[in-house]
Chains A and B, each alone.
Chain A
């Protein structure tokens, strides 16, 4: 049985038919076609599928698709503005914060949720914000530094 669900995705209205009981991750990837969202465990353990729902970080694999009707979803596909990358994306490249890259979109969204709420995070804030996201390549340090770089870059631009 399919259920209609309408929501905003990266600023655009989306209408889709979701299988009853489907998770948001599968609907975004298989129905809507947003492949920037990655599925790692479908158990809420890895954070690869992190998206923002109304600005808050959520695991799309544990989110019932029907529950997001009328909500605003942000994914890594919506980070850049035209040809201009988001400061977090630039910082991740400059710090070599991605190796296999599978965790990267989830890391970016978890980091965006942090910086949107707290533009001047401490290292401890960053570690806490990324605490639900697993990376098996980098050892985390380049990712933490990239988020701090993006925050300080934002501060420089605002100054």
Chain B
């Protein structure tokens, strides 16, 4: 099956084509879309690409971090100032995948993929969409909730740099070193006087898209980061999740192991 490929130098032109072409999909690194094309999936009639250099924008400051949607996982790993994100970037495939897989593409990757999007969700990231000649910014959580509807062209993501040591990421897989996720967990745990304030926790693999663990976040508020402090959060960790039964794990198994791994992420396996 031949697919119509349209490449645009300007992002605005790509956004316009994406909005107006029936069956059009935007291709970043190709790791999501080429699989569908190789399977001759009839849902992909037209591929829209852009060589706009703004998609490769990567700006790291002390306060805010901006990543163009075309920034690859390999580029994230090459950036020393993004060390807190390296575990999440390294969770995406092997080295050859990471050279192609983009930040923007990961936002559209379906379970069991999308580990980097899980990390971005715990960072309270915003997503910038290219709309016509302009741009629109919205919270990542809102974007993920409606990503299956519409034909959005993500141009960038942005988030505040987390406090030192406040961000953690964990991927659970059955196959090492490179298996797909059974689930993944990202957590941002700001501490004030030894108490957690404004925790952000996100789960990958526990729903159709990465989801915030809002019950666990609420349960951590004002608590110490120790076994007693996190116990209420572990008890409600699976609240609001709807994991799938698939070849990787059953929904029951995912719910069972979720608090175990959340505990390991928060305080380590051997902490009392």
- Interface residues in B4-37 by Cβ distance below 8 A to A read 4-5, 7, 27, 29-31, 34-35, 37
Q: Does B95 contact A (CB under 8 A)?
A: yes
With both beta carbons as reference points, the residue of chain A lying nearest to B46 in the complex is identified as: A21
Bound Cα distance from A44 to B113, whole angstroms: 13
A132 x B96 contact (CB < 8 A)? yes
> Across the interface, do B47 and A62 meet the contact criterion of CB distance under 8 Å?
no
Expressed in whole angstroms, the minimum distance between the Cβ of B5 and any Cβ of chain A is: 5
Stretch in A27-35, A52-60, A97-105, A150-158 touching the partner = A52-60
A44-B35, A64-B47 given; A3·B5 CB < 8 A:
yes
Q: Which residue of B lies closest to A109 (CB)?
A: B96
A146 interfacial contact with B, CB 8 Å:
no
Q: Verify A127–B38 contact, CB threshold 8 A.
A: no
Does B83 sit within 8 A of A, measured CB to CB? Answer: no
Contact A23 B2 (CB under 8 A): no
Provide the bound-state CA to CA distance between A42 and B34, in Å.
9
Let me know if B136 is at the binding interface, CB within 8 A.
Answer: no
Whether A131 lies near B178 (C-beta < 8 A) is yes
Instruction: Report if B74 contacts A (CB, 8 A).
Output: yes
Q: Number of contacting residues on B, CB 8 A?
A: 27
Which residues of A sit under 8 angstroms from B95, Cβ to Cβ? 57, 110, 113-114, 128-129, 131-132
A57: chain B residues within 8 A (beta carbon):
95-96, 99
A6 at the binding interface (Cβ < 8 Å) = no
Looking at B7, B37, B99, which has the most chain A CB atoms within 10 Å of its CB? B99
Interface of A is mostly: mixed
Q: How large is the interface on A (under 10, 10 to 19, 20 to 34, 35 or more residues)?
A: 20 to 34
A75 within 8 A of B: no
Report yes or no: B7 in contact with A66, Cβ–Cβ below 8 A. Answer: yes
Q: In the complex, how many angstroms separate the beta carbon of A58 from the nearest chain B beta carbon?
A: 5
- CB contacts (< 8 Å) of A62 on chain B: these are 29-31, 34-35, 38, 97, 100
Give the residue of B2, B49, B94, B99 whose beta carbon is less than 8 angstroms from that of A56. Answer: B99
Q: Per-residue 0/1 for B89-126: is the Cβ within 8 Å of any A Cβ (1 yes, 0 no)?
A: 00001111101100000000000000000000000000
The CA-CA distance from A113 to B96 in the complex, in Å, is 10
B201 CB to nearest A CB, Å: 27
A42–B38 Cα distance when bound, in Å, is: 6
CB distance from A127 to the nearest CB of B (A): 6
